[in-house]
Structure 1
Amino acid sequence: MDKNQLGIQYMEEGKWEEAATVFMEAIEEKPEDPTSYINFGNVLSVVGETEKALKFYEKAIKLDENAAAAYYSAGNLLYDLQNFQEAKKMFETAMKKGMESGDNYFMLGLSLIAMEQGKLALPYLQRSTELNENDAEALFQYGLCLAQENFIDESIIQLKKCTQIDPNHADAYYNLGVAYGFKEEEKQALQYFEKALEIQPDHLLAGYGKKLIEKGTAE
């Protein structure tokens, strides 16, 4: 096992110091290999050393301008810092450099949503669900974005897929309740609000939705 593989194993085990040590050794042994800089940057990002992490991603890009993983990792970091415009640029560049991953499309979509460009986000979120068919969160965000753009029936399909993969996704059930409420199918809406509350009894929005439906049917 080479040092980058060993370092990734340490990261998976939550052994950040060991991972950092191994990646630094890998950089010293092969200073022209961008992979080690990306991996070390990922460790720094996890432990909150964001500025240092960005410098390591920049170093990787200087060594190899086609290092798609460096753009993707930098994008994730910038997204967490709520610098959505720059994050979007990084995810777009990763895509142009050949990164055909569901995660990259997903994060590009989320960046666009954060910038209130939901319609532009839809194709990227759709692609993320095609590449990661069993990713409940990707299906949820795609369904949510569809609903926000008034594609209610399409939204329901994606939210139901989400609950099939993650039967405890309270927010997906809540948004199904909202969608059926929008369609004036109160019985279905009530069932989904109740399901959300069954999973998460303190789900305030689901509780409010349930009260509205009950009040409406009682009148």
Structure 2
Amino acid sequence: MKFSKWVYVALISIILASCSAGESNKGDQLYSAGKYEEAIDAYDTYLVNRPKNVQALYNRGRSHEELGDFEKAERDFLAALSHDSKNVQVLLSLSNLYQRQKKHSQALLYAEYAVEVPGAPAMAYFMKGRALHQLGNTEEANKEYSSAIKMDKNFGQAYYYRGLLKFATDRVQSGCEDMRAAIKLNFEDAREAMDRYCQ
């Protein structure tokens, strides 16, 4: 499973996106059915009278992102954030959006904002680690992956990426231990890395 898709599966499991009623619920249903253009129309209607509804803005942004329109997705996420600057779901989605576009410094910025929110989930530390990893700051990335794992012992993807980082910095035995942990947690991408590095 691709990194960005996995992130959203995890985010949905942390905090399920749902608006209040009426057109917003219709938008949610259409989004869940993969009818993103229709979902956007429903959110447009809903937001006419509720332009500051954070969840509807966020959900419309997610619909735009699914359609590959990153500019409109970014616009909606930033609009949602302007009304709720501590919304971890929105902060992590912005970080992931920038990560997908290889804008790693911006991805790091929003992950850092997410980490600073009281009660931030393990995903916030993982996303910070991913951005640092991409920027070549391997020691700090390792610390963030480890923080994510400390918070969530079942975070298979965090073990996987920490393992890759260890392979890249000549800590092969420790990297193999992380890959074995990822495999036990059913993160199947780790099998290929095991085959390559852990003979």
Matched, 1:153 2:144: no
Number of the residue aligned with 1:29: 49
Decide whether the 8 Å contact of 1:125 with 1:138 is kept in 2: yes
Change (3 A) 1:55 1:93: same
Cα distance in structure 1, aligned partners of 2:106 and 2:93? 12
Decide whether the 8 Å contact of 1:84 with 1:115 is kept in 2: yes
Change (3 A) 1:95 1:9: farther
Decide whether the 8 Å contact of 2:88 with 2:120 is kept in 1: no
Q: Which has the higher contact order (CA 8 A, sep 6+)?
A: 2
**3-state SS of paired residue (1:116):** coil
**3-state SS of paired residue (1:141):** helix
Deviation of 1:100 after TM superposition, in Å, equals 1.6
Change (3 A) 1:152 1:47: same
Cα distance in structure 1, aligned partners of 2:54 and 2:118? 16
Change (3 A) 1:25 1:120: same
Scaled by the length of structure 1, the TM-score of the pair is: 0.70
Q: Which runs of 4+ in 1 moved over 4 A?
A: 3-6, 177-180
In structure 1, runs of 5+ residues without a counterpart are 181-188, 190-219
The superposition leaves residues 44-65 of structure 1 with CA deviations (integer Å, 9 ceiling, x where unpaired) of 1111111111111221222222
Q: Percent identity?
A: 19
The one-letter amino acid paired with 2:172 is I
Decide whether the 8 Å contact of 1:95 with 1:104 is kept in 2: yes
Change (3 A) 1:80 1:99: farther
Deviation of 1:42 after TM superposition, in Å, equals 1.2
The one-letter amino acid paired with 1:35 is Q
CA RMSD of aligned residues (A): 2.5
Written as runs of structure 1 = structure 2, the 5 A alignment for 1:135-150 is: 135-150=155-170
Matched, 1:175 2:181: no
Written as runs of structure 1 = structure 2, the 5 A alignment for 1:13-92 is: 13-92=33-112
In structure 2, runs of 5+ residues without a counterpart are 1-19
Change (3 A) 1:132 1:23: farther
Cα distance in structure 2, aligned partners of 1:24 and 1:160? 46
Deviation of 1:156 after TM superposition, in Å, equals 2.1
Written as runs of structure 1 = structure 2, the 5 A alignment for 1:88-127 is: 88-98=108-118, 100-127=120-147
Change (3 A) 1:5 1:127: farther
The superposition leaves residues 25-81 of structure 1 with CA deviations (integer Å, 9 ceiling, x where unpaired) of 332232222221111111111111111111112212222222332222211111111
Number of the residue aligned with 1:129: 149
Scaled by the length of structure 2, the TM-score of the pair is: 0.76
Cα distance in structure 1, aligned partners of 2:119 and 2:25? 20
Q: Which has the larger radius of gyration?
A: 1
